[in-house]
Amino acid sequence: MTRFRNRTAIVTGAGQGIGAATAALLAEQGARVAVVDLRTDRAEAVAREIRDAGGVAAAFGCDVTDEAAVTETTGRVVEEFGGLDILVNNAGITRDNLLFKMGRDDWDSVLATNLTSVYLCCRAAQKYMVEARYGRIVSLSSRSALGARGQANYAAAKAGIQGLTATLAIELGPFGINVNAVAPGYIATAMTAATALRVGSTVEDHQERAAQATPLRRVGQPREVASVIAFLASDEASYVSGQTLYVNGGAR
Ligand code: NDP
């Protein structure tokens, strides 16, 4: 497929879940993909799978909360692939707790990983995108941005992404850079499985309850988010910018 022919993409947190599905889909559709993850071994496994399937991918171990590491990794990707067209800010964590039990470390780490990292990666990427007068940035917000019990840190970070997205669309638009976000509902990944176990449920029961609260009566799959990210990263979405698109099975 030629949708992303001659395009280079960075996908952060691509060692598993939505990020891995996005990396695989962009590669299937012709992009050269930098698979970035905290864990180099996981990034390597995803990149190898993409290459085995005939795609172009390389693994980069990088902590997206580390400013120097983000700058260096972005530079290495540009050097290796000869440019940077697409940035998918996907890396994220949860550290849920009710406010009165939420320690400062859980607040700080969630804000750093889910929000500050997006600022760092966008700032590093825009340098190359502005020069090329072309870019597509897609960041992972969440339905939780609208409010979610036990997720004051995560909801604040994911709502912050929506404000950052709207603002960067204004600042970077004149340079041919589109900036959008997707806000998934419940997607079956290691993140939601860990939440299930933490609240004393089985993964199956937790998913079933989420499905019953969703108009489509099922939870989402990583590939269903990846396909929306791919649309926003493509030239089919060339006049869409500053938007947050909810991918949540119709939940309000
Ligand atoms: P996963 O936990 O399955 O994957 C997240 C990936 O990000 C992991 O590989 C993780 O590595 C990596 N990561 C974490 N911290 C860093 C860091 N500092 N630097 C680089 N990589 C890091 O999550 P999902 O696939 O479920 O979620 C992906 C994104 O989608 C997240 O931003 C999440 O908040 C968002 N989202 C997910 C929803 C869901 O229902 N699953 C719903 C709404 C939004 P490691 O495992 O080594 O920590």
Neighbouring residues of 76: CB distance < 8 A, sequence distance ≥ 6: 60
Q: What is the pTM of this model?
A: 0.99
Mean pLDDT taken over the chain? 98
pLDDT digits (tens, 9 = 90+) for 31-51: 999 999 999 999 999 999 999
Tell me the per-residue pLDDT of 156-186, one tens digit each, with 9 for 90 and over. 999 999 999 999 999 999 999 999 999 999 9
DSSP SS3 for 7: coil
Catalytically annotated residue among 119, 128, 134, 154: 154
Give the length of the chain: 252
Expressed in angstroms and rounded, the spacing between residue 161 Cα and the centre of ligand 1 is: 15
Residue reference for tokens 């580390």: 66
Tell me the pLDDT tens digit for each residue of 220-251: 999 999 999 999 999 999 999 999 999 999 98
Residue 4 has pLDDT above 80, yes or no: yes
State yes or no: pLDDT of 192 exceeds 70. Answer: yes
* CB 18 near ligand 1, within 6 Å: yes
Report the phi/psi class of residue 87: left, alpha or beta, with left for phi > 0 and alpha for psi in -120 to 50.
beta
Q: What is the CATH number assigned to the segment(s) 8-187+221-247?
A: 3.40.50.720
